[in-house]
Chain A
């Protein structure tokens, strides 16, 4: 779909210098002299490197029509994450560096959406929230009841999350995987 670069949004996919990139950030910026711009941070989905670019806001660009397919997350090794399409049993892999930080909240066996373009997996569509069990946490120190006080806990995927001090080991919590923030108890 062709759009004005001024309408580009975070999460969309574009070709940049011949390679598929995902928009990490897109901000309107008008220097007041010269054309209004769309300042964009693009993540190259092959090299996983970010590049800063400034489009003219009225420049026509092609936003790729991608589909998302539900898949089961199987496992990971040092470099890749492996998924299976449960309807076709086809396996796909994605590089951890491309998917980024959110992989630390992925639990084996969970279902996720994988963005596809021309049958090629691009990256993960981040879930709104993930539910994970706390496996390690210190007990709140006595008297430490200041409102808003937080402590670090370890969840079952090994990631560390800051939670309110009253949350205990064994509880399941929901987390926004993109920000890594605790959003509530389940």
Chain B
């Protein structure tokens, strides 16, 4: 199956039909997407601010990262379910949208960074400068993901 026909097929899938059905379906799924990133990006940002030494200084970064991890994962799961649902509803247009393409690239980088360097930086005994780099870089990557997402509707 060639790429365009895959995206065309997606728009005719049952879940795409459900998304394009009742008027409330899309905004409700979008709202769940927002709640998903409040959980995921919101908890990652708490760890980032700790790595930068700006918040939650009475806890160690390792302790915070461990305690928040389940909620980060819950948020990521919610985002990765609601995101593709919205994508399916208008797959051909989205996959040609430059903002969407930008968002997917930075999302891949942000996730890769999160589960590799960011995770290591929360361990005890990491150089302060390395921790700060990881925190700042993570904030920057997730900010780019949100900004790219917002721009999809305007491009």
Query: Do A and B interact?
Result: no
Interface residues of A (CB under 8 A from B): none
